[in-house]
Amino acid sequence: MALRRILVGLVVFGVVSLSGVAAEKFIVASDVAWPPFEWVSAKGEKIGFDLDVMRMIAVLEGYEIEIQDIAFDSIIPAVIAGKVDIGASGFTITAERAQVVDFSSPYWTSDQTVVVRADSGLNVVTALLPGRKVGAQRGTTGAFWVEDNLIAQGVAVELVLYETYPEAVMDLLAGRLDAVIQDQAPSEQAVQQYAGQLTIVGIIKTYEEFGFLVAKGDPKGILPRIERGLKVLKETGAWDNLIAAYFGPSLEAVEAAWEACIDVLRVGKDPVAYAACLAQKVRELSK
Amino acid sequence: MNLAFSWDWLPRLLQGLGLTVELTALSMAMGAFLGLVLAVLRVYAHGLLYPLYLLASGYVHLFRGTPLLVQVMTFYFALPSVGVRLSPFVAGLSALTLNTAAYQAEYFRGAIQSVRAGQMQAALALGFSRLQAIRYVVLPQALRLVIPPWSNELIYMVKGSAVVYLIGVLELMGQAKNIAARTFRNFEVYLVVAMFYLALIFVLTLALRWVERRTRVPGLGVPGRA
């Protein structure tokens, strides 16, 4: 019986991988340490809002994707070098970046937030005084904001840059930083995860818009397909369900829901039903 | 590809180079001292001193058996959970020092053991204490023999020190990462940084060759080159 199951499994696997050879495949680069946009679940799966959007559009547009976990500041160079096809990692559309890569239309808006330790007594002004140690992730608009609007203006905070966002949060918790500057949703996620230890003391209205990015000139013609996919997701309500599932609930609830629903997308190839399943499961688990 | 080097980067890269030199010099010097003590214990701690031998061997095994990167991350990110909060520089320097000490201990041990046993016996026969024999007879010979392998370790550490950029130390690699993240000129930035490392190691190689020549004792030393 077990042997038969293995044989059936091998045949199925063989068919799937054979069809995989024929299908178009794009490599999606993401810095998978930035919940809720992308993170590695307790079971080792790469999940998150950006990654699910990429998976759902891939199903809609009939191509396959492979997600590669790459340091945030290395994603654009990898796209430029043609090592990967798509950057999906909460990239703010900026003029600097738009000179070297092409962006999709915006899919998210975000502001920067100032996170401090709850017991530090700092406020948004005192947290950013000269001499304060301020952490940010390398290559992010949060880091650029500190460089351009504090340091370049003569407010000599000490900017410490990290490879990943969780490392900055850990250093804040360890007392080696006074504040961390980061996009709103990941900051709220961190505050939720370390309830009582961290707090958001201020929102910096930067009005940033996130986009998916590809190589300059879009040589593989990916952007129109992403646009089409985004449009379908928004029109069918899948988009709203995805937002409801990922923004707000605890990571544990999202991970459990994702485990329960992902086959609807992977096997069932139905993005709309998948998003509905995810939203409903998360709601149930959050009660 | 636009291969223009921006001179604006130079002050930051030079600052980074300075920190790389500082990290390497300090960790190599402190590592040499610790490594020498470890090596002497590994060779001579017998009898009542046997626990010290075990301690030294365990240390060498631990720090050679785990990746430098893991040691750096542990010193910086794991120690705060037991109340030890080191600054990036101190955490990086500590990890580099303790790591290189283990490797240097093995180079020193090899050099000490390649000094012929007759030297120690002759020294004892002349009335030297064991410690004096080690200090005045064995080590002066061993330290000359150790220069070639030790320079290998020095060159390795110049490059190995680059891993501390991961904990926010702005040495050469850290500065390069930050510049590249802002300018997207990765190719040019890393090319320049590679040349900086190459130049630094070239100078060190020449310096060590000079030291080796200066300290050579006629009639003693490297077989085939004496």
Separation CA A277–CA A266 (nearest Å): 13
Q: How many interchain CB pairs under 8 A, A with B?
A: 43
Beta carbons within 10 angstroms of residue B167's beta carbon:
25
Please give the radius of gyration of chain A, using alpha carbons only, rounded to the nearest integer.
20
Chain B residue at shortest CA distance from A144: B182
Instruction: Enumerate residues 6+ apart whose C-beta is below 8 A from B73.
Output: B166, B167
Separation CA A178–CA A194 (nearest Å): 16
Taking only the tens place, the pLDDT of each residue in A73-108 is: 999 999 999 999 999 999 999 999 999 999 999 999
Query: What confidence score (pLDDT) does residue A63 get?
Result: 97
Separation CA B18–CA B70 (nearest Å): 24
- Tell me, yes or no, whether A95 and A237 share the same domain: yes
Please give the radius of gyration of chain B, using alpha carbons only, rounded to the nearest integer.
21
Taking only the tens place, the pLDDT of each residue in A125-169 is: 999 999 999 999 999 999 999 999 999 999 999 999 999 999 999
Structure tokens at B82: 């037991």
* pLDDT band at A14; cut points 50, 70, 90: low
- Tell me, yes or no, whether A10 and A103 share the same domain: yes
- Tell me, yes or no, whether A15 and A96 share the same domain: yes
**How many degrees, rounded to 5, is the angle at CA B159 between CA B153 and CA B162?**
130
* Percent of chain A topping pLDDT 70: 92
A1 to chain B, any CB pair closer than 8 A? The answer is no
Separation CA B196–CA A136 (nearest Å): 27
Query: What confidence score (pLDDT) does residue A125 get?
Result: 95
Residue type at position A218: D
CA-nearest of A107, A23, A36, A104 to A65 is: A23
Query: What confidence score (pLDDT) does residue B216 get?
Result: 86
A122 to chain B, any CB pair closer than 8 A? The answer is no
Separation CA A107–CA A104 (nearest Å): 8
CA-nearest of A208, A214, A186 to A75 is: A214
- Tell me, yes or no, whether A232 and A156 share the same domain: no
Domain carrying residue A247: 2-107+211-286
Substitution target in A138, A158, A169 with the highest count of B β-carbons within 10 Å is A138
Tally of CA atoms within 13 A in the half-sphere of B33 that contains its CB:
6
* ipTM exceeds 0.90: no
Do residues B187 and B32 lie in contact, with contact meaning Cβ atoms separated by under 8 Å?
Answer: no
- Tell me, yes or no, whether A125 and A246 share the same domain: no
- Tell me, yes or no, whether A23 and A38 share the same domain: yes
> DSSP secondary-structure letter at A175?
T
Instruction: Enumerate residues 6+ apart whose C-beta is below 8 A from B203.
Output: none
Name every chain B residue with its beta carbon within 8 A of the beta carbon of A143.
181
Separation CA A167–CA B76 (nearest Å): 10
Alpha helices in A150-221 (DSSP H): 165-173, 184-193
Structure tokens at B142: 């061993």
Nearest-CB residue to A138 (from B88, B181, B184): B181
Separation CA A47–CA A255 (nearest Å): 8
Separation CA B106–CA B38 (nearest Å): 9
Name every chain B residue with its beta carbon within 8 A of the beta carbon of A216.
none
- Tell me, yes or no, whether A168 and A56 share the same domain: no
For residue B108, CA distances in Å to B57, B64, B89, B111, B113 come to 13, 15, 27, 5, 9
Nearest-CB residue to B168 (from A77, A96, A162): A162
- Tell me, yes or no, whether A51 and A77 share the same domain: yes
CA distance B152 to chain A (A): 30
**How many degrees, rounded to 5, is the angle at CA A157 between CA A109 and CA B89?**
110
8 Å CB contact of B182 and A144 = yes
Domain boundary residue among A208, A242, A277? A208
Q: Kindly tell me the burial class for residue A38, based on how many C-beta atoms sit within 10 Å of its own C-beta (0-12, 13-18, 19 or more).
A: buried
Beta carbons within 10 angstroms of residue B206's beta carbon:
10
Q: How many domains, in total, are found in chain A?
A: 2
All domains in chain B, ordered by first residue: 20-169 (1.10.3720.10)
Q: What are phi and psi of A171, to 5 degrees?
A: -70, -30
Taking only the tens place, the pLDDT of each residue in A265-276 is: 999 999 999 999
Name every chain B residue with its beta carbon within 8 A of the beta carbon of A76.
184
Report the interhelical angle of A271-286 vs A223-235 (nearest 10°). 60
3-class secondary structure, B182: helix
Separation CA B191–CA B12 (nearest Å): 15
Separation CA A57–CA A59 (nearest Å): 5
Domain boundary residue among A163, A191, A208? A208
* Beta bridge partners of residue B30, listed in sequence order: none
- Tell me, yes or no, whether A84 and A216 share the same domain: yes
Name every chain A residue with its beta carbon within 8 A of the beta carbon of B85.
174-176
Substitution target in A31, A100, A167 with the highest count of B β-carbons within 10 Å is A167
Spell out, as residue ranges, where chain B has pLDDT lower than 50: 1, 224-226
Taking only the tens place, the pLDDT of each residue in A185-238 is: 999 999 999 999 999 999 999 999 999 999 999 999 999 999 999 999 999 999
Nearest-CB residue to B181 (from A139, A175, A176): A139
Which CATH number fits the domain that encloses residue A16? 3.40.190.10
Do residues A65 and A79 lie in contact, with contact meaning Cβ atoms separated by under 8 Å?
Answer: no
Separation CA B87–CA B79 (nearest Å): 11
For residue A274, CA distances in Å to A40, A77, A92, A262, A279 come to 19, 33, 27, 7, 9
Query: H or E element: which one contains A47?
Result: strand A46-47
Domain boundary residue among A192, A208, A224? A208
Query: What confidence score (pLDDT) does residue A208 get?
Result: 97
8 Å CB contact of A76 and B184 = yes
Instruction: Enumerate residues 6+ apart whose C-beta is below 8 A from A161.
Output: A135, A136, A137, A138, A143, B168, B177, B178, B181
8 Å CB contact of A73 and B87 = no
> DSSP secondary-structure letter at A134?
E
Chain B residue at shortest CA distance from A162: B168
Beta carbons within 10 angstroms of residue B26's beta carbon:
15
Chain B residues whose C-beta is within 8 A of a chain A C-beta are: 77, 80, 85, 87-88, 166, 168, 177-178, 180-182, 184, 186
Query: What confidence score (pLDDT) does residue B220 get?
Result: 64
Chain B residue at shortest CA distance from A167: B77
Query: What confidence score (pLDDT) does residue A232 get?
Result: 98
- Tell me, yes or no, whether A148 and A173 share the same domain: yes
* Chain-centre distance for alpha carbon A160: 22
Separation CA B190–CA B177 (nearest Å): 8
What is the pLDDT of chain A when averaged over all its residues?
93
**pLDDT tops 80 at residue A7:** no
Do residues B4 and B137 lie in contact, with contact meaning Cβ atoms separated by under 8 Å?
Answer: no
- Tell me, yes or no, whether A74 and A23 share the same domain: yes
Query: What confidence score (pLDDT) does residue A9 get?
Result: 60
**pLDDT tops 80 at residue A47:** yes
pTM: 0.84
Do residues B130 and B124 lie in contact, with contact meaning Cβ atoms separated by under 8 Å?
Answer: yes
- Tell me, yes or no, whether A250 and A173 share the same domain: no
Separation CA A60–CA A53 (nearest Å): 10
